[in-house]
Structure 1
Amino acid sequence: MYQHVRTGRRIAAGLACAAAVVSLTACGNGKSGTGSADGATPSTAAKASPAADPNGIEKLSAKEIYDKSRETNAKAGSFRQKMTRENAKTDVLLSGTECVGTVEMTGQGSFDIVRKGNDVWAKFDSNMAQTIKEKSGLTVSAGTWLHGPPTHPLMKGLASWCHTEQITEPDTADAGLNATKGKVTTVDGQQVVPIFITGKGDKVTWYTATTGEPYYLKQDATREDMPDITNSDFGTPVNAEKPSGQIEEAPQG
């Protein structure tokens, strides 16, 4: 099973891991203005201000930049995250206890996800409803919100795509992480410092803002089974709410 890879603490495993059968649980890192439970679709990402003052983070070591940027994202309390890899795509707005957004899994279907504390709701298209039946034996209704706690096996797997641990447990770099710092450059109109992580012949690049708050803004990976990530809308309230419409309780396996 393809395992969840979070970033620095598990990057070696991530670079060494080969994609296997995609499960309903997230992997990769493995995002919305105000969240809408009806559509569960985040709004367009806000642009970083080009007039922001330099923050000097490029003067730190690669590992220090890595740790500082993850800490800064967590301190924002919430942000939008878009992730793409060869077999999945997500767009969610998340905090430590909330999440609103969408998940698309290639060849398996898509679903809307809403999490608010100890409640998780998900609404599936017909393909995803069939995938769930084939993988877990559980019958769920397409187009109807499914509700359950984050401890329910199915709901736990679905909610894991939100990666709320980025707020509650921001990642840090291992002492042995093979990380090097690049020169300040511009990505998507934002001045950033790149950090290059290499292993097993593959490379992941992380970009941290060098003006304004030193946010971790983007990840590019050389392998298709590892995620490309963009983060934005820092500090935007999630405002997750119980969805309107028909709601069913998650079936027991």
Structure 2
Amino acid sequence: MTAAAVVTTAALFTLTGCFPFGGDDVESGPFPGQTGSKVANASLESLRGASSLTITGTVRDNGKPIKMDMAISKSGDCKGSMAVEGEGSFELIRNAQFVFMKADAAFYRTQLKDSPKDEADAALKQLPGHWVKTKASAPDSKELSALCDLDELLKEFDKSQGARKDGVVQVNGQDAQKVTTKTTDGTEDLYIATKGEPYLLKAVETGKEPSDVSFSGFNVPVQADSPTKDVIDTDK
């Protein structure tokens, strides 16, 4: 599982609503006069307007759960972690100058499964549990840097069509308008903040590739300071 493959999971966050169903109670709730689709689309615009946010939850790539907890800014700074079931996990820090990745042995075994045994053994002895440092501008950092590109991630979102409002619920202590859409093999439920900016707080999708993702930390600066211990500098 390469970093590039992880990026493709952003497509699982898409606001795809394609199949209208039932009536939409336009006048009731915290967004009177707005259809479910209009509320959902406004939440997308609010996400795009945020300077930073944190994404947590589980998505799937070819059926494999991927747990993620990433704080990402529009400037490209990011800090967080990802874990792929059966394939290991890694932590990631990116700032203006460098990219740091600290992965476990299971992650490196997955990455090195087709490498010569002596090379794999040497890497497994040296790399797990250490921060591997590369320049942010280096070609080898391109795939990992893509995980920290907030604008690119949000480009994966499409406008919602056929969504309907489905009541107000609590999401992490906040009132949220639930908006539901039928998809090709399930449903997509979006939970949108009713106070302040109508940020998308949570997205849950059922079907063949279910996902459950929360959004928080809007406009909170990302603390992407370079680690100072257990660092392997690949430029030396």
Q: TM-score, structure 2 length as denominator?
A: 0.72
> Contact conserved, 2:14 with 2:156, CA < 8 A, in 1?
no
Are the equivalent residues in 2 in contact too, given 1:73–1:167 (CA < 8 A)? no
Q: 1:103 to 1:167 in 2, by over 3 A?
A: closer
- In 1, the alpha carbon distance for the partners of 2:173 and 2:150 equals 27
Number of the residue aligned with 1:129: 108
Unaligned 5+ segments in structure 1 are 14-54
Write the deviation string for residues 45-68 of structure 1: whole angstroms up to 9, x where unpaired: xxxxxxxxxx95454222322222
C-alpha separation between the residues in 1 aligned to 2:162 and 2:115? Answer: 39
Q: Where does residue 57 of structure 2 map in the other structure? A: 83
Structure 2 residue aligned with 1:94: 72
Q: Is the 8 A contact 2:93 2:224 kept in 1?
A: yes
RMSD, aligned CA: 3.3
Query: What residue number does 2:220 align with?
Result: 236
Q: Could you tell me which amino acid in structure 2 is paired with residue 218 of structure 1?
A: K
Q: Which residue of 2 aligns with 1:115?
A: 94
Q: The residue matched to 2:86 in structure 1 has which SS?
A: coil
Counterpart mapping for 1:1-253 below 5 A: 3-4=8-9, 5=11, 7-8=13-14, 11=16, 56-57=30-31, 59-85=33-59, 87-96=65-74, 97-117=76-96, 119-134=98-113, 140=123, 141-148=127-134, 155-162=141-148, 164-165=150-151, 169=155, 171-173=157-159, 177-223=161-207, 225-245=209-229, 246-249=231-234
2:111 alignment partner AA:
I
AA aligned opposite 1:247? I
Q: Shift in Å at residue 234 of structure 1?
A: 1.6
Contact conserved, 2:12 with 2:211, CA < 8 A, in 1?
Answer: no
* Amino acid paired to 2:233: E
Separation of aligned partners in 2, 1:226 and 1:151:
35
What runs of 5+ residues in structure 2 fail to find an aligned partner? 19-28
* Cα distance in 1, alignment partners of residues 182 and 115 from structure 2: 36
| Residues 231-240 or 116-125, more deviating | 116-125
Q: Cα gap change, 1:201/1:171 in structure 2, threshold over 3 Å: closer, same or farther?
A: closer
Amino acid at match of 1:143: G
**Cα distance change, pair 159–225 in 1 and its aligned pair in 2 (3 A):** farther
- Computing the radius of gyration over CA atoms, which structure comes out larger, 1 or 2? 2
Q: How many residues align?
A: 206
* Cα distance change of structure 1 residues 129 and 8 upon mapping to structure 2, 3 Å threshold: closer
Question: What is the CA distance between 1:162 and its match in structure 2?
Answer: 4.3
Any idea what SS the aligned residue of 2:113 has? helix
C-alpha distance in structure 2 between counterparts of 1:136 and 1:227, whole Å: 33
